[in-house]
């Protein structure tokens, strides 16, 4: 009672009013942001009556971006979760007046990267990049591709190179892939969030496979737009599902069965109706062997030896599968294309290459199997040489070398359960990714082959590799 009287004499405010004001201030601090959003929605609705339909859509789009920015700044991992879902299922894209378009995955990575820069630089904070060896390698790759873009404006041949919009698109593929890796490496705070992202991806993979296998459910595959189920989709689906099913001892019985079903369904589709498309089953097989090798080296060596024995025993059958009529022609033409690229095009600037997308237009100057036509390499490593030279290829391979070393060191330092199985899965996924690069430009999609649509699938690999660095950071096991 005396304290209430003293408070009344000192402030002139009754005690119950002070408690009310304190409660009101607490409530306002928690609710002011949602109130602002609701107010903006109301204002937008009122303005919609005075705007044209196109202006109203633009205003609503800007408002939606504002709300998304607030959510992703407050909970950054939700941005990565949105990226996974949108890249695989949302068909939205912006036309460019060419054969390709700017899809939602590209827009989202650019948006999230911009928010990350805003949150760390514009608001007066340090960017806080964790400068480990893999990050240095990627920054080197970024510098290489920027320099290649500049030298790509030089007149290397009597004819002009790719249009500027294609060169910018090729440059964006490199920079946004690096950005996706850095976002995952810096915005996944703990293993719990990584679990949600992994199960989300595997769940969507299960939906797609259900549409491929279950009679009458083929409509499910229509949820996945073109490009979403490229080679890296299959690689990471197998690598993550297999490692968790076999080595995550914390999984329930039904969870383990579901993951095994996912792995078996992947190879059932890949080696069944899709066996002529080697990019859909060969890199996932490499990923599976990689998981076994890092988790249990003896198993891995035994698996490779057994696989080699079976391969020799069934060599003719495997040759018939891999070198089917269309694959055999593809193999021959690829060898011819690589010969032209190496000895006629790359030699002009072997250090930095001819810039993003340019070499495609120069190929028409050199006959391939008697024909003067434009062509691409269908190989990630030849693409890197032609576009960014030896410098770009060096930093690309250095990055994967450092990431593989990091996963190898972490294999016994991470606690058993999801985290350790994830390390195994990423190691296998990276080996499968390297194998996929031999069959096409799946990792850094070339604008004149897989195209920007392929970024929908390729971005998955960059996100899950970045998450490995995030785990290493929490365990103080970065590759420095």
Start-to-end Cα distance in the chain? 63
Q: What is the rounded average pLDDT of the residues 356-377?
A: 91
Do 372 and 304 belong to one domain?
Answer: yes
Residue 102 lies in a domain: no
> Same domain for 314 and 407?
yes
Same domain flag for 140 and 37? no
Residues 226 and 111 in one domain: yes
Percent of the chain with pLDDT over 90: 61
Evaluate whether residue 173 is within a structural domain.
yes
Is 475's pLDDT higher than 60? yes
Give the per-residue pLDDT at 473: 83
pLDDT of residue 357: 95
Which of 8-12, 119-123, 236-240 shows the lowest mean pLDDT across its residues? 8-12
- Give yes or no: residues 63 and 113 share one domain: no
User: How sure is the predictor about 451, in pLDDT bands with cuts at 50, 70 and 90?
Assistant: very high
Residue 94 in any domain: the answer is no
| Position 74 pLDDT exceeds 60 | yes
Domain that holds residue 24: 1-74
From CA 123, how far away is CA 121, in angstroms rounded?
Answer: 5
How many separate domains does the chain show?
Answer: 2
Asked, for residue 307, whether it belongs to a domain, the answer is: yes
What is the per-residue pLDDT across 290-337, written as a single tens digit (0 to 9) for each?
Answer: 999 999 887 766 766 666 665 555 555 555 555 554 556 677 888 889
Q: What is the pLDDT of residue 272?
A: 84
Please, what is the Cα angle at 334 between 332 and 340, to 5 degrees? 110
Tens of pLDDT along 416-449? 999 999 999 999 999 999 999 999 999 999 999 9
> Do both 278 and 319 map to the same domain?
yes
pLDDT at residue 273 in the model: 79
Residue 83 maps to a domain: no
State how far the Cα of 377 lies from the Cα of 398, in Å rounded to an integer.
22
Q: Is residue 86 part of a domain?
A: no
For the stretch 232-289, pLDDT in tens is 999 999 999 999 999 999 999 999 999 999 999 999 998 887 778 889 999 999 999 9
Same domain membership, residue 255 and residue 140: yes
Structural domain includes residue 101? no
* Per-residue pLDDT tens over the stretch 131-188: 789 999 999 999 999 999 999 999 989 888 899 999 999 999 999 999 999 999 999 9
355 with 229, same domain: the answer is: yes
344-360 residue pLDDT tens = 999 999 999 999 999 99
Q: pTM for the whole thing?
A: 0.86
Q: How many angstroms from the chain centroid is the CA of residue 305?
A: 32
User: Are 297 and 368 found together in one domain?
Assistant: yes
Q: Are residues 124 and 273 in the same domain?
A: yes
Structure confidence at residue 95 (pLDDT): 74
161 occurs within a structural domain: yes
- Of the listed ranges 32-46, 72-86, 95-109, 365-379, the least confidently predicted one is 32-46
The reply to whether 177 and 310 lie within a common domain is yes
- Cβ(443)–Cβ(352) under 8 Å? no
Same domain, 44 and 125: no
């Amino acid at each position: 009672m005396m304290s209430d009287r003293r408070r009344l004499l000192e402030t002139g405010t009754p005690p119950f009013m002070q408690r009310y004001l304190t409660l009101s201030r607490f409530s306002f601090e928690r609710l002011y942001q949602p109130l602002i959003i609701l107010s903006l929605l109301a204002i937008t609705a009122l303005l919609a009556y005075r705007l044209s339909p196109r202006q109203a859509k633009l205003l609503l789009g800007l408002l939606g971006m504002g709300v998304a920015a607030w959510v992703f700044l407050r909970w950054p991992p939700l941005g990565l979760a949105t990226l996974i879902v949108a890249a695989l299922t949302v068909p939205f894209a912006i036309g460019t007046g060419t054969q390709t378009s700017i899809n939602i995955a590209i827009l989202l990575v650019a948006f999230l990267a911009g928010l990350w820069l805003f949150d760390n630089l514009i608001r007066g904070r340090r960017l806080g990049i964790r400068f480990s060896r893999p990050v240095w390698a990627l920054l080197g790759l970024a510098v290489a591709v920027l320099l290649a873009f500049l030298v790509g404006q030089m007149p290397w041949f009597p004819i002009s190179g790719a249009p500027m919009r294609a060169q910018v698109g090729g440059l964006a593929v490199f920079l946004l892939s690096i950005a996706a890796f850095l976002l995952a490496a810096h915005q996944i705070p703990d293993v719990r969030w990584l679990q949600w992202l992994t199960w989300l991806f595997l769940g969507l993979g299960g939906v797609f496979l259900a549409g491929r296998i279950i009679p009458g459910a083929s409509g499910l595959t229509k949820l996945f737009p073109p490009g979403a189920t490229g080679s890296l989709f299959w690689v990471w689906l197998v690598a993550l599902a297999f490692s968790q099913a076999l080595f995550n001892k914390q999984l329930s019985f039904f969870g383990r069965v579901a993951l095994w079903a996912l792995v078996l369904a992947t190879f059932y589709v890949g080696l069944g109706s899709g066996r002529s498309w080697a990019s859909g089953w060969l890199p996932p097989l490499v990923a599976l062997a990689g998981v076994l090798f890092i988790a249990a080296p003896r198993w891995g060596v035994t698996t490779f030896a057994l696989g080699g024995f079976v391969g020799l025993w069934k060599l003719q059958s495997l040759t018939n599968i891999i070198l089917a009529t269309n694959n055999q022609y593809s193999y021959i033409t690829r060898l011819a294309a690589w010969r032209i690229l190496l000895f006629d095009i790359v030699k002009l600037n072997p250090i930095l290459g001819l810039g993003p997308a340019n070499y495609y237009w120069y190929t028409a100057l050199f006959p391939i199997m008697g024909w003067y036509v434009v062509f691409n390499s269908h190989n990630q490593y030849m693409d890197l040489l032609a576009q960014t030279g030896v410098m770009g290829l060096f930093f690309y391979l250095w990055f994967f070398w450092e990431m593989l070393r990091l996963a190898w060191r972490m294999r016994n330092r991470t606690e058993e359960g999801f985290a350790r199985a994830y390390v195994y899965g990423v190691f296998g996924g990276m080996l499968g990714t390297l194998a996929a690069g031999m069959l096409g430009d799946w990792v850094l999609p070339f604008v004149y082959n897989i195209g920007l649509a392929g970024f929908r699938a390729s971005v998955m690999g960059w996100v899950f590799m970045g998450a490995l660095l995030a785990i290493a950071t929490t365990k103080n096991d970065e590759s420095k």
